[in-house]
Structure 1
Amino acid sequence: MFKIGAHMSTSKGFHKVPLNTIAIDGNTFQIFCHSPRTWKVKDPKEEDVIKFKENMKKNNISFKDVLVHSGYLINLATPNDENWEKSINLMIEELKITAKLGIKYFNVHPGSHLGKGDEFGYDRIAKALDIILEKLNNLDVVILLENVAKKGGNIGWKIEQLGEIIKRSNFQEKLGITYDTCHGFDSYYDIRNKNEVRRLLEEIEKYIGLEKFKMIHLNDSKFPLGAGKDRHEFIGKGEIGIKGFETFFSFEEIIKLPMHLETPGDDSEHAEDIKVVKSILEIKG
């Protein structure tokens, strides 16, 4: 069964998310576990956690198909020691909540080296991940590194870079990747072309292993190939377009993975995007 959903609000409680997901015709979702623009984390209430798990089961949403996204302030590559330690501590708290909710996968952008260079960034990120996973080694949570747009000191715009981080970690079995279609398009992965999708999959297999490819962020792009702008667009209304996603969905390695929309707008607009995605699948199939 094709797994599609969107980034959902938790403002009315975690327990509302499965119900709101079904309401937009989704069967998976992504959430933040706290306000993503703050360093402060508030533990969810036990009653909310219990109802969340009940609603997941009642609505047949798999805990292994959903995703928690890290807060925006986390930068595991930063040369600033204070912010690096704060990033580690915040991610530890976020991962504890992820596990408390029973969710398997946690998504994080690798970070920016802020001018210190890729080698510095690889080691800095891998060391941070090792500190985090050493402390939380008993939790059944896998950290997914997300590919990012090619701009500034960002690390992870090439698949090879994500592989380099994983290779340097002592906890490779606890690491995997999420592929973001807009970020990839920003970084010259042209999924409108079958040969380019094959290149993407071949790079994932070569540098990481396809078994570690767990999730997809499904976003069109407001800007042309290689722009490095990181501006998401509604599915089919951007530079990737309907034909581009039709090509992307023609690969079994892609179509089997949970996909989470991070397109603009609220639940009603995500519902429209889900309709568009399903119509593309009908065209393809």
Structure 2
Amino acid sequence: MAPMCESSECNGRVSTRGDRYTRPIRYGVEPMRIGAHVSTAGGPLKAFERAAAVGAEAIQLFISAPQQWKAPAISAEVVAAFNDARQQAAVPVFFHGVYLINLASQDEALAPRSVDSLASYLDFGARMGVEGTIFHVGSHLGRGMDEACVAQVSRLLKQVLDRSPAESKLILECNAGQGGCIGGTFTELGLLIREAGGDPRLAVCIDTCHAFAMGYDIRTNEGCAAVMAEFERDIGLERLVAVHANDSKQPLGGLRDRHENIGDGHIGLDGFAAVMRHKAFAAVPFLLEVPGLSGAGPDIENVMRLKAIRAGIGLPPA
């Protein structure tokens, strides 16, 4: 495995490799934040109250119904109030795109709608000061990820970016490999980013459950090191901006997206310790999307489990 940080002098060093995003990798400069996806029922401002209630140090939210194409409807007054609340809370915020998005669809209506939805989210994201919008690329629906599919997805990624503010990040999430989904492997994600021109606004979110379902064994220090060496080779660590922290109901390589509470699945507490111990994740927010002990979504118990792991491996609190 090639060293990710050859000496202390590499803190703040800027990568110049090809078309990769040149954000400096600054291991240990910022704390690892433990956050959660929270409901915005009652309006996006409710996200901060709900995040505080579970001890979340980072937030992910929808700004429209995730199963509908309806565009976000947020007034200028709410945008201003959201920015005030975000600054007061001093936590990073991420949007999650709607579940209907499919940039690989051959449906003449669906692909443009996907672009419209993402562009809308990135526009609001810039106005509301969020880190970026995390989304699922979509499914090739059986045709395979051939040259035409790659060309289409990369072209549509560029269309989204062309319609979006310069500060808006478009964050591709790795998937569990089910149903012809695109972006399950780091090789696929890296290819799409390169074919889309390597724009610095293209970033990646690793979902631990999805990666595990795809066969990436992150349960040991050695396994996680090998997985992240592959990520570095195919994508570049500088593009990693978020983690969806989810245990897995399914065994390694199960190709099914079944989230479990932290420590109750096949990854386990030791597996999350291995992930959090790896220096590539040192300053990356961990966002819970677990079912929760009561089935109501991310809760204080799951947040505390990750915080306990963070403390146990000697990382500072946020």
TM-score scaled by length of structure 2: 0.84
Task: Determine if the alignment matches structure 1 residue 121 to structure 2 residue 149.
Answer: yes
- Per-residue CA distance 1:145-192 (angstroms, 9 max, x = gap): 110002221111110100000010135212010000000000001110
Q: Percent identity?
A: 33
The counterpart of 2:309, out of the listed 259, 280, 284, is 280
The residue number in structure 1 matching 2:255 is 228
Write the mapping of 1:256-267 to structure 2, written as runs, cut at 5 A.
256-265=283-292
Per-residue deviation at 1:195? 2.2
Task: Determine if the alignment matches structure 1 residue 33 to structure 2 residue 42.
Answer: no
**Which structure shows the higher helix fraction?**
1
Q: Structure 2 unaligned runs (5+)?
A: 1-30
Write the mapping of 1:1-285 to structure 2, written as runs, cut at 5 A.
1-61=31-91, 65-119=92-146, 120-136=148-164, 138-170=165-197, 172-265=199-292, 269-285=298-314
- Asked if structure 2 preserves the Cα contact closer than 8 Å seen for 1:67 and 1:105, the reply is yes
Larger relative contact order (CA 8 Å, sep ≥ 6): 2
- Secondary structure in 1 aligned to 2:143? coil
- Asked if structure 2 preserves the Cα contact closer than 8 Å seen for 1:24 and 1:268, the reply is no
* Distance verdict in 2 for CA 1:254–1:46, change over 3 Å: same
Per-residue deviation at 1:269? 5.0
Distance 1:52 1:250 in 2: 33
Name the amino acid aligned to 2:84: E
* Distance verdict in 2 for CA 1:157–1:90, change over 3 Å: same
For the aligned residue pairs, the C-alpha RMSD in angstroms reads: 1.6
Name the amino acid aligned to 1:9: S
Per-residue deviation at 1:26? 1.3
* Distance verdict in 2 for CA 1:177–1:24, change over 3 Å: same
- Asked if structure 1 preserves the Cα contact closer than 8 Å seen for 2:97 and 2:133, the reply is yes
- Per-residue CA distance 1:200-247 (angstroms, 9 max, x = gap): 211121111111111100000011111111010000011111111111
Deviates more, 1:233-242 or 1:149-158: 149-158
* Distance verdict in 2 for CA 1:220–1:268, change over 3 Å: closer
Distance 1:91 1:247 in 2: 33
Distance 1:151 1:20 in 2: 32
- Secondary structure in 1 aligned to 2:205? strand
- Secondary structure in 2 aligned to 1:48? helix
* Distance verdict in 2 for CA 1:84–1:251, change over 3 Å: same
Distance 1:24 1:110 in 2: 30
* Distance verdict in 2 for CA 1:171–1:132, change over 3 Å: farther
Name the amino acid aligned to 2:75: K
Distance 2:282 2:186 in 1: 19
Name the amino acid aligned to 1:30: Q
Q: Structure 1 unaligned runs (5+)?
A: none
Per-residue deviation at 1:52? 1.3
Q: Which runs of 4+ in 1 moved over 3 A?
A: 265-269
Name the amino acid aligned to 2:267: I
- Asked if structure 1 preserves the Cα contact closer than 8 Å seen for 2:36 and 2:298, the reply is no
Per-residue deviation at 1:278? 1.3
What is the total number of aligned residue pairs between the two structures? 281
- Secondary structure in 1 aligned to 2:265? coil
Distance 2:228 2:155 in 1: 27
